[in-house]
Amino acid sequence: MPLLEVKNITKQYEKDKKVLSGISFDVNGGEFISIIGPSGAGKSTLLRCINRMVDFSSGEILFHNTDIMSLSKKDLRKYRTQIGMIFQHYNLVSRLTVIENVLHGRLGYKTTLQGIMTRFTEEEKKEAFHLLEKLGMREHAYKRCDHLSGGQKQRVGIARALIQQPKILLCDEPIASLDPNSSKVIMDHLKNISQELRITCIVNLHQVDVAKHYSERIIGLNGGQIVYDGAPQELTTTNIHQIYGSEAENLILA
């Protein structure tokens, strides 16, 4: 049984303009999927439908066979703890320290009061340091996040998502604001996460070569529709043509 089943979802922000139309695919545990497609194709929207930061207009998404649109407010919180999210602009609380930001990933498990009073258990704190250690950020634990480099910020973002103990990691262009070296570090970490921890990664990417190199499966979006869904090895020039339109092809493959 698949972990996540996306069935025929559509999304329109405004009337008669479908941003997503008829999207269907299944996701298994531990898969590493890249979603590629031109700007405005609906990649970010699709990711946000999965954790219901955006409510889709029709269709259904099943997680462990539960329809996520039917979740109560409380169950939605519980559901979101299962889904980590990583952002292009890191989305950290920049005035707080690294360790505080990492522990934010536990808020979904806390009561309102525990959260506001920052009551975290010893284990949670240990886990936070352990994750920072693994991501090579241990020494920066007490630094304010606005004093970090982009690559370091993204690693804090990953730690915050991992401490949720998620089943799925949604990554919205995690390397779009990073230089090639930091990009490689981040992508390697994501790859490790999916292989060692068997956490499913769904990654929006703009670089076809990166997508081909890291993922087990590529989904190509164009105009809100899936135009490719398959192994990276089988992605042909014709497919790339379909995904990005004709002019872009030379640029991408050059």
Partner 1 sequence: MKIDVYRKKKRQFTIFALIVLCMTFISAKLTNFSFVQGISSVPEAFRWMGSNLLITRESFEKMPSILDKLIETIFLSITATTTASIIALLLALLGSQTTKVNGFFSTLSRFIASVFRNIPIVAWALILLLSFGQNALTGYFALFLATLGFLTRVFTETIDETSNSSVEALQSTGANYYQVVSKAVLPECSPQMISWILFMVETNIRSSTLVGILTGTGIGFAFDLYYKSMNYNVVSLITLSIVVVVISIELISNYIRRVIL
Ligand X SMILES: Nc1ncnc2c1ncn2[C@@H]1O[C@H](COP(=O)(O)OP(=O)(O)OP(=O)(O)O)[C@@H](O)[C@H]1O
Nearer to ligand X, 166 or 224 (CB): 224
11 makes contact, choosing from ligand X, partner 1, Mg ion, none, with CB < 5 to 8 Å by partner type, with none
Q: Shortest distance, CB of residue 52 to Mg ion, whole angstroms?
A: 17
2 makes contact, choosing from ligand X, Mg ion, partner 1, none, with CB < 5 to 8 Å by partner type, with none
Subset of 187-216 contacting Mg ion (CB under 5 A): none
Residues forming the site for partner 1 (CB under 8 A): 51, 53, 76-81, 83-85, 87, 89-96, 104-110, 112, 115-116, 157, 160-161, 164
The contact mask relative to Mg ion for 33-52 (x = CB under 5 A, - = no) is -----------x--------
11 and 181 in contact (C-beta within 8 Å)?
A: no
Q: Does 152 bind ligand X (CB under 6 A)?
A: no
Which residue reads 């164009």 in tokens?
A: 222
Subset of 4-23 contacting ligand X (CB under 6 A): 13, 19
Stretch in the footprint of ligand X (CB under 6 A) among 39-47, 59-67, 101-109, 186-194: 39-47
Q: What's CA 231's distance to the chain center, in Å?
A: 19
149 makes contact, choosing from Mg ion, partner 1, ligand X, none, with CB < 5 to 8 Å by partner type, with none
Nearer to ligand X, 6 or 148 (CB): 6
Nearer to partner 1, 112 or 246 (CB): 112
Q: Does 43 bind ligand X (CB under 6 A)?
A: yes
